[in-house]
Amino acid sequence: MLNFVGFSQDTIFAEPPPETQTEYQIEILQGPRIVSETPPIIAANEPFRLPGHRNPRVAGWLSAAIPGAGQIYNGQWWKVPIIYGGAGFLVYLHNFNRTERNRFQNEYRWRLNNPQEQYNDPALALFNTDQILSARDFYRRNLELVYVFSALLYFLNIVDAIVFAHLATFDVSDNLTMRVEPFALPDMSLHALNNQRVPMQGGLRLTFRLK
């Protein structure tokens, strides 16, 4: 009788304690390690300015506190003169219309209180009372429009900072997810084949790229 004894090819190695493992044993047990000379950079949890990123909330609050500050935060310095140029023009319109409204209003009140006199301001001697009242309402309406446009400029300043802070992280390169591009293909229809010709046909196609 012959007895055969089989041996397994698998050898079980006992893993030594971590403090006694060598680098060679660690590579065998856990695989090769990638060693970098520079330590990994961990981004700080600071929402004010991250590399290549703008925080829309911070940009909005900055523009709300100081108009144009959100644009500076987004790196769009050239928008600041536009904002303050528009604000300066609105200040000029405000002062002009306010002065004219007060002038015609004072003249109208003086004529109501002094019906025996024709006018108080010699520059307004050619205007009757109805014209004085109409001019006062005209400049008062213009003054109200200046207030509306001032609020609109302030609101657009905030919206612009928030929108462009969002757009700072958008992919605007040529490798976009959706593209419209021209194409040209041979015409393989039966009509073209029966006439023994293969003309080209072209057009536009919509391409979606999955990233």
The CA distance from 14 to 47, in Å, is 49
Contact 107, 120 (CB under 8 A): yes
pLDDT at 121: 80
b/e map of 31-54 (b: 16 or more CB within 10 Å)? eeeeeeeeeeeeeeeeeeeeeeeb
Q: Strand, coil or helix: what is 45?
A: coil
Tell me the per-residue pLDDT of 112-157, one tens digit each, with 9 for 90 and over. Answer: 888 777 777 888 888 888 999 999 999 999 999 999 999 999 999 9
**Which of 27-41, 55-69, 155-169 has the highest mean predicted lDDT (pLDDT)?**
55-69
Contact 49, 38 (CB under 8 A): no
Paired tokens of 50: 């991250």
Cut 0.85: pTM above it: no
